[in-house]
Structure 1
Amino acid sequence: MTALRLPRRDGTLAPWAPSGARPPAPPSSPPGARIAYAAAHVVADPLAAGDPAHEVVLDWDATLAFRHHLWSCGLGVAEAMDTAQRGMGLDWTTTRELIRRTGEAARDGGGRWVAGVGTDQLPPGLSTVDEVVSAWRDQLDFVLGAGATPVVMASRALAAAATGPADYRSAYGKLLSDVDGPVLLHWLGEQFDPALSGYWGHHDVRDAARELANLCADHAPVLAGVKVSVLDAGVETEFRRALPDGVACYTGDDFSYPKLIAGDDRGHSEALLGIFDPIAPVAGAALAALDYGDTAGFHALLDPTVALAREIFRAPTRHYKVGVVLLAYLSGHQDHFRMVAGLESARSIVHLAEVLRLADAAGVLPDPELAVARMRPLLETAGVR
């Protein structure tokens, strides 16, 4: 295998060559023992003439082809979530078109999908709680019309407007009292978005979890589940056990997902994960093992991906999308390493090199030689020869 010299965190360069490990074959049908969605990234158009900081232009063919790739691996697609750069470059106008096109793709031979319902159409500045609810309702209606199960995302506007837990109970209560269900709720921790600090009216994560569990009990008939992205497996497990019957917990913990999905004798988490975007073939095969009760096989496939996930989602966690898009480029799913709003510049070449190393060790690179060839110009741009 062709070797590269990769930078390390101590400032040195070290020779590296890929191991040649490749992902397993995808399952012949979607796994059934767990419900699993991959939060999907978007592919920017690298040749768009406008300023990427102010104009969003997507490569629609590559973006939709990647959704078909996720479906082919046995996973559902979680569309228009934070992985797609909601709140970090992707505007609501483009998001509407993304949801519409994914809906068409799902109807034309795709698979299961859900889509994010946010409040990002609101103008800048402080909004009222009622304006937040109205914005949610507009997006929820659009998502339902496109054929997806709605995922009600945590709202920056509500975090700014709310003065305490009562405002959260009021806002979510007004929204959920008007839906027939099913919907998912999404608790995105401040690691992923600092603007959501103190969400649910509490800065202590366990107090926030109890607040959310009580809300779920009040609205259980219309809730299919809650996605929890707080990167604390203990908190998630406690929260999962506090949920009412019929309301599932979907792990968004990109650090501890294997043990949370595997679960224990008191239950398990379903999955809605950003890390499933770059490791889709491995994730699909691992989940299929659970269909046969092969927990050891599940862990043998999925556990080696955790080191990669912890690197991709390292602090500042909100920039994890860079590693996700890098691996899509290195794996041949897109022809460039460019992102909406130029976000590819948010991570260092040292981080990118470590993502490559760990992706190879986890066996998620479908063509290691292609990955080497595509990594080389990135290294050269950074001055590594």
Structure 2
Amino acid sequence: MVNSIKLPNKNGELYTYTPREPVSFDIPEKPFSKRIVYSAAHVVANPLADTDPINNSKIDWETTLEYRHYLWSLGLGVAEAMDTAQRGMGLNWEHAKDLISRSVREAKSVHGRIASGAGTDHLIAHPNLTLEEVEQAYEEQCEFVEKQGGRIILMASRALAVCAKTPEDYERVYRNILDKVSQPVILHWLGDMFDPALKGYWGHENVDEAMEVCLRVIKENEAKIDGIKISLLDDKKEIRMRRLLPDSVKMYTGDDFNYPSLIKGDEQGYSHALLGIFDAIAPAAASAMHALDAGDLKKYDSLLEKTVPLSRHIFQKPTYAYKTGVVFLAYLNGHQSHFRMIGGAEGQRSIIHLSEIFVMADEAGLLKDPEMAAERLKIILAQAGVMQPTRQFM
């Protein structure tokens, strides 16, 4: 039996929690057949680097790449250098280039699926920025990803959001960039709940009007677009857009609240997956995809419905702080030896929030070794002044 642990509740009062016994997931060693599945992956900080952790964090490359091999071993693809890797929030373009080149090389060694983010984050946004400068920045990053032999995820651009005056400006920039790529890309529409700097993207704050612009871009450049990943946390908007896409263009859900039903789909279609939460729930996600392949919808639903409360908790407002929960779970499950993050982002969530992640992950069967996870959580709790009772021996 797993030993109990004292945890703080929402009122800051301590209560006793006893973790469950570990759960094993059935994951056949074969690729998924019905859905394309990417997990956006986090990066592991080097906690012993003698550098400024806010402005000049260092990455533990060995452990970071080991985690990608773990995801590939489960059959998941890797969406590299995305917001889950703290892109633009701790991971700068220089680090991203290194990450992309290393990960693409590792993916080739195991025939793993990978796509990498290309954006404009090396460009400093300022009021006098021009569309030409944005295009040049996009071109530089797209060219880099393709030179590594990688597939592009064309990320939303903070710089474009600053200098674009009209929806037509967005259409122009995307048309010019897509004209130059050699392979179809995955477009990435990230809502402002994930990045406040992207408010009003596509030239409209109204989502329906913004969607019309995005759909025009897709239809006018259909041959250069594999699909679009949208992260709006609104399943109705995603379904509406999915039904309006050209037949050749895939929808990749980025909805970390409603992913089970969106991936399962309905009589008119379904979404593939490109999700940050799949980093945190990788074994359950992989097992569920195999259940879907086998037509076992009851098992699919059972596996994923247990993960939704955890995901909604991790992605609660402020949504951009979700990376803290993702890395915390990796720490609890032994994928890294510490709970430190680039940019010092481990401090973006409260000790109560982290304690609830532990409980929800345990309830979903996502603690690989609950005893180890509890011992690791005790270290974090002690740092917050929450001490465990001393055992009495007779």
TM-score by length of 2: 0.96
Counterpart of 1:162? 164
Render the CA deviation track for 1:306-363: whole Å, top value 9, x for unaligned: 0000000000000000000000000000000000011100100000001111001111
> 3-state SS of the aligned residue for 1:277?
helix
Query: Is 1:116 the counterpart of 2:123 in the alignment?
Result: no
Amino acid at match of 2:196: P
- Displacement of 1:23 in angstroms is 4.0
For residues 58 and 21 of structure 1, the distance between their equivalents in structure 2, rounded to whole angstroms, comes to 31
1:371 to 349, 370, 373: 373
Residue 189 of structure 1 contacts residue 196 of structure 1 at CA under 8 Å; is this kept in 2?
Answer: yes
Counterpart of 2:233? 231
Counterpart of 2:360? 358
Residue 213 of structure 1 contacts residue 243 of structure 1 at CA under 8 Å; is this kept in 2?
Answer: yes
> 3-state SS of the aligned residue for 1:90?
coil
For residues 361 and 128 of structure 1, the distance between their equivalents in structure 2, rounded to whole angstroms, comes to 51
Which protein, 1 or 2, shows the higher relative CO under an 8 Å CA cutoff with sep ≥ 6?
Answer: 1
Residue 142 of structure 2 contacts residue 152 of structure 2 at CA under 8 Å; is this kept in 1?
Answer: yes
Counterpart of 1:89? 90
Question: Greater shift after overlay, 307-316 or 121-130?
Answer: 121-130
Render the CA deviation track for 1:138-171: whole Å, top value 9, x for unaligned: 1111111212210000000000111121111111
Residue 89 of structure 1 contacts residue 341 of structure 1 at CA under 8 Å; is this kept in 2?
Answer: yes
Counterpart of 2:185? 183
> 3-state SS of the aligned residue for 1:6?
strand
Render the CA deviation track for 1:272-322: whole Å, top value 9, x for unaligned: 000000111110010011111111211111111000000000000000000
For residues 209 and 364 of structure 1, the distance between their equivalents in structure 2, rounded to whole angstroms, comes to 36
Render the CA deviation track for 1:69-120: whole Å, top value 9, x for unaligned: 0001110000000000001011111110000100110121140000000111
TM-score by length of 1: 0.98
For residues 31 and 315 of structure 2, the distance between their equivalents in structure 1, rounded to whole angstroms, comes to 26
1:285 to 287, 307, 312: 287
Amino acid at match of 1:254: D
Residue 322 of structure 1 contacts residue 346 of structure 1 at CA under 8 Å; is this kept in 2?
Answer: yes
Query: Is 1:103 the counterpart of 2:104 in the alignment?
Result: yes
Residue 56 of structure 1 contacts residue 91 of structure 1 at CA under 8 Å; is this kept in 2?
Answer: no
For residues 182 and 70 of structure 1, the distance between their equivalents in structure 2, rounded to whole angstroms, comes to 24
The number of aligned residues is 385
Residue 153 of structure 2 contacts residue 187 of structure 2 at CA under 8 Å; is this kept in 1?
Answer: yes
For residues 172 and 124 of structure 1, the distance between their equivalents in structure 2, rounded to whole angstroms, comes to 18
Residue 200 of structure 1 contacts residue 208 of structure 1 at CA under 8 Å; is this kept in 2?
Answer: yes
- Displacement of 1:4 in angstroms is 1.0
For residues 25 and 125 of structure 1, the distance between their equivalents in structure 2, rounded to whole angstroms, comes to 51
- Displacement of 1:27 in angstroms is 2.5
Could you list the structure 1 runs, at least 4 aligned residues long, displaced by more than 6 angstroms after superposition. Answer: none
Counterpart of 1:320? 322
Query: Is 1:272 the counterpart of 2:258 in the alignment?
Result: no
For residues 52 and 146 of structure 1, the distance between their equivalents in structure 2, rounded to whole angstroms, comes to 28
> 3-state SS of the aligned residue for 1:359?
helix
> 3-state SS of the aligned residue for 1:190?
coil
Q: 1:360 to 1:110 in 2, by over 3 A?
A: farther
Counterpart of 2:343? 341
Counterpart of 1:79? 80
For residues 243 and 124 of structure 2, the distance between their equivalents in structure 1, rounded to whole angstroms, comes to 38
Residue 23 of structure 1 contacts residue 365 of structure 1 at CA under 8 Å; is this kept in 2?
Answer: no
Counterpart of 2:203? 201
Question: Greater shift after overlay, 366-375 or 127-136?
Answer: 127-136
> 3-state SS of the aligned residue for 2:103?
helix
Give the aligned CA root-mean-square deviation in angstroms: 1.0
Query: Is 1:48 the counterpart of 2:78 in the alignment?
Result: no
Residue 124 of structure 2 contacts residue 159 of structure 2 at CA under 8 Å; is this kept in 1?
Answer: no
> 3-state SS of the aligned residue for 2:306?
helix
> 3-state SS of the aligned residue for 1:224?
strand
> 3-state SS of the aligned residue for 2:251?
strand
Residue 304 of structure 1 contacts residue 361 of structure 1 at CA under 8 Å; is this kept in 2?
Answer: yes
Question: Greater shift after overlay, 19-28 or 266-275?
Answer: 19-28
Question: Greater shift after overlay, 105-114 or 121-130?
Answer: 121-130
Counterpart of 2:243? 241
For residues 166 and 367 of structure 2, the distance between their equivalents in structure 1, rounded to whole angstroms, comes to 46
1:305 to 282, 304, 307: 307
For residues 332 and 363 of structure 1, the distance between their equivalents in structure 2, rounded to whole angstroms, comes to 15
> 3-state SS of the aligned residue for 1:138?
helix
For residues 28 and 36 of structure 2, the distance between their equivalents in structure 1, rounded to whole angstroms, comes to 14
Amino acid at match of 2:343: A
> Identical aligned pairs, as a percentage?
50
- Displacement of 1:124 in angstroms is 4.8
Render the CA deviation track for 1:243-293: whole Å, top value 9, x for unaligned: 011100000000000000000010000000000001111100100111111
Structure 1 gaps, min length 5 = none
Question: Greater shift after overlay, 228-237 or 130-139?
Answer: 130-139
Residue 331 of structure 2 contacts residue 338 of structure 2 at CA under 8 Å; is this kept in 1?
Answer: yes
Amino acid at match of 2:143: D
